[in-house]
Amino acid sequence: MSPRSGPPLTFAEAFDLPLSVDLCTAARAFGICPGTAYRLIHDGRFPCPVLRLGHRYRIPTAYLLRALGIEERPVYAVDLEAGAAHAARRHPANDHGTEIPG
């Protein structure tokens, strides 16, 4: 068996993935080596749907996360604070000291 292509993905890495990932990244997320991932695809037993684009495989991130048991992205207080700060910069109070309704 060949070695994995790096340590398993962390939650932070999983939430920063693009819309689809390559097979090596998906294998890493499942904690398996790429060779095992290819074998599972060929046997029709890969844990989530796989798209074949030419000679390459792509795995939609939504399916990958669902197969990992991650149904929704968590919301962190720091993200909410950053979003509120961004909104405040974009929509400052008007000259009369009242807020613009959001």
Mean pLDDT of the residues in the chain: 79
Compute the distance between CA of residue 45 and CA of residue 40 in angstroms, rounded to an integer.
5
pLDDT digits (tens, 9 = 90+) for 48-92: 999 999 999 999 998 998 998 887 666 666 666 666 776 777 665
Please return the burial class of 60, using the count of CB atoms within 10 Å of its CB with bins 0-12, 13-18 and 19+.
Answer: middle
Asked if pLDDT for residue 30 goes beyond 50, the answer is yes
Side-by-side strand order, sheet with 51-53: 20-22, 56-60, 51-53
Please return the burial class of 41, using the count of CB atoms within 10 Å of its CB with bins 0-12, 13-18 and 19+.
Answer: middle
pLDDT digits (tens, 9 = 90+) for 49-59: 999 999 999 99
79 or 97, which is more confident: 79
Residue 80 sits at φ, ψ, to 5 deg, of -65, -40
Predicted confidence at residue 44, as pLDDT, reads 96
